[in-house]
A and B are shown apart, each in its own frame.
Chain A
């Protein structure tokens, strides 16, 4: 039996040799089953650039950063994914941009079909939005995200 490294406690079980991971292949990334669905969603809705940025947020900013030791809010990130799942962006415009905010939230910006800006900031308590075309702005709870996503995507 090969010894597994970095175990934080004796594992409850060990897979037999033939069922273990083979050598890592650098060109193939494997994620947890739920992680894969999210990555596919990011690629489909935000393109490779947006996917890369969110990957970086999750990889480098989940622990504290900056002078105040800010932390990427798990609720904000989850809200962002829920919103994204319902959102549709104009195909003739550039892909939406995604930012990490100073407060540990996630901000999504894109243009509607007339080229007017739409911004949504996801926080630990809900989401704030602004729609340039109607000069509408407001705050919604997590429960209202799907409805907001459909409304802003229309």
Chain B
């Protein structure tokens, strides 16, 4: 591991865990385009309709374009979704992402295959110019207060803060990857059985514009972002939690 990286990544990582805590995984590329937004959904849909026949316009698309352009947060939001049985693709004027279905993580090999297919289709669609950012984001849910089970926490006067709603966000760097780590013990997720309160580990790992080109090294970079998040996850959890997740190794 890098000298500067504060989390010790185990040498050997599991290939699967059960129960799987992943609520959602998002693989996102932000880009600039010489094409106007109005043409993009049609160009993409023509390429992906065989696998993603259904489409849905998202509520944020109702906002005036000028308002979206002037708000940095709105600017990178997707405006339309294309749905298949296993994934959804989201598209906006500056962003495209592949998202897993909630609480149905299919595993990295399946995702990698779908990403490879999507990149080919995006290249054929021809509207993506420069890549601005490429990354992966994994959101994990745990029952109860997960701070007890992780090697991270908040201290007051050198004493760990326990039993209070706590929300921690930090930014880590590991070589060319930026990692935003968000941890909270006060979150509510919707699962099949209904809303449930607990803890969230939300990790976003990305490469900046000088380190990525979607069509040259995009798939490799997605893999590296995934691997960075996986390493960080297993570096953060304590052995007691790991054993409850029944890890299997190669």
Query: When A and B form their complex, what is the total count of cross-chain residue pairs whose Cβ atoms lie within 8 Å?
Result: 109
Chain-B contact segment, one of A58-66, A95-103, A109-117, A132-140: A58-66
How many Å from the CB of B10 to the closest CB on chain A? 25
Q: Is A1's CB under 8 angstroms from B139's CB?
A: no
In angstroms, Cα B169 to Cα A72, docked, is 29
B241 within 8 A of A: no
Q: Report whether B188 and A1 are in contact in the complex, using a CB–CB cutoff of 8 Å.
A: yes
- 0 or 1 for each of A68-84: is its CB under 8 Å from B? (1 = yes): 01011111011100100
Task: Report the separation of the CA atoms of residues A16 and B197 in the bound assembly, to the nearest whole angstrom.
Answer: 8
Contact call B58/A124, Cβ cutoff below 8 A: no
Of the listed stretches B1-9, B74-82, B155-163, B230-238, name the one at the interface; the rest are far from the partner chain: B74-82
Complex: how many Å from CA A63 to CA B81?
A: 21
CB neighbours (8 Å) of B200 from chain A are: 12-13
Instruction: For A8, give its contact among B32, B60, B210 (CB under 8 Å).
Output: B60
Interface check B23, CB cutoff 8 A: yes
CB distance from B219 to the nearest CB of A (A): 20
Report whether A8 and B58 are in contact in the complex, using a CB–CB cutoff of 8 Å.
Answer: yes
A91 in contact (CB, < 8 A): no
Contact A34 B178 (CB under 8 A): yes
B210 touches A142 (CB 8 A): yes
Give which listed residue, B131, B187, B190, contacts A74 with CB less than 8 A. B131
What size tier do the contact residues of chain A reach? Answer: 20 to 34
A14 at the binding interface (Cβ < 8 Å): yes
Interface flags, A4-37, vs B, CB<8A=1, else 0: 0011111011111011000000000000111000
B116 at interface (Cβ–Cβ under 8 A)?
no
Residues of chain A contacted by B78 (CB below 8 angstroms): 8-9
Chain B hits for A16, CB < 8 A:
165, 186-188, 197
The answer to whether A75 touches B188 (Cβ under 8 A) is no
- Residues from chain B with a CB closer than 8 A to the CB of A64 are 34, 36
Q: Are A74 and B72 in contact (CB under 8 A)?
A: no
Beyond A60-B70, A62-B75, whether A12 also contacts B165 by CB under 8 A is: no
Contact partner of B72 among A33, A59, A75, CB < 8 A? A59
Report whether B34 and A124 are in contact in the complex, using a CB–CB cutoff of 8 Å. no
How does the 8 Å CB contact mask read for B22-50 relative to A, with 1 for contact and 0 for none?
01100000101110100000000000000
Distance in angstroms between the alpha carbons of A10 and B78 in the assembled complex? 13
Chain A residues contacting B69 (CB-CB under 8 Å) are: 60, 62-63
Is residue B126 within 8 Å, beta carbon to beta carbon, of the partner chain? Answer: no
**Contacts A12-B139, A62-B75, A71-B32 given; does A33 touch B170 at CB 8 Å:** yes
Indicate whether B180 reaches chain A with its CB closer than 8 angstroms.
yes
* Residues of B participating in the A interface, judged by any CB pair closer than 8 Å: 23-24, 30, 32-34, 36, 58-60, 63, 69-70, 72, 74-75, 77-79, 81, 90, 93-94, 99, 102, 129-133, 139, 141, 165-167, 169-171, 178, 180, 184, 186-190, 197, 200, 202, 208-210
If A6-B59, A13-B189, A75-B210 are given as contacts, then 20 extra A-B residue pairs at C-beta distance below 8 Å, sorted by A number, are: A1-B188, A6-B60, A8-B78, A12-B139, A12-B200, A13-B187, A14-B188, A18-B165, A32-B171, A33-B170, A33-B171, A34-B178, A58-B72, A71-B34, A74-B30, A74-B32, A75-B209, A77-B209, A79-B210, A82-B210
When A and B form their complex, which 7 residue pairs have the shortest distance between CB atoms, in order from nearest? A33-B171, A74-B132, A74-B209, A16-B186, A13-B187, A71-B32, A12-B24
CB within 8 Å of B: which residues of A?
1, 6-10, 12-16, 18-19, 32-34, 58-60, 62-64, 69, 71-75, 77-79, 82, 124, 142
